Amino acid sequence: MLTISSSDIVKKPSYITNPAEITFVEDAKKHITKSVVLPYALYLRVKEQIEDELYLMNNKNALSKSAYKEFLEIESVVGEE
């Protein structure tokens, strides 16, 4: 895994356009990870899980609290706060 800053992207755009490994992009001033870039082959393997998680994150308010709690008992959610 590689950690780069946003200024590194300007110097070497291939970090983003053709990643060889999982790449974390951090804020240059605060040193906080803001983005993750996956190699395309890895993305294809986890695409469905990522789409499912994004759907849940975007629609979690649409679920009732009891249904959401029941769902959490059945499935683990990535990025849960």
The sign of the torsion formed by the CA atoms of 69, 59, 64, 74 equals: negative
Domain residue limits at 65: 47-74
Count of domains for the chain: 2
10 lies in the same domain as 30: yes
Model-level pTM? 0.60
pLDDT in tens, 5-58: 888 888 998 888 888 899 999 988 888 999 999 999 999 999 999 998 888 887
Residue 42 lies in a domain: no
Checking DSSP bridges between strand 33-37 and strand 2-5, what pairing results, if any?
unpaired
Query: Quick one: which H or E segment has residue 2?
Result: strand 2-5
Domain assignment present for residue 81? The answer is no
CA distance to 2, 17, 46, 53, 65, per residue, from 49 (Å): 23, 22, 5, 6, 22
Residue 23 lies in a domain: yes
Residue 79 has pLDDT above 70, yes or no: no
Distance between CA atoms of residues 36 and 78, nearest Å: 14
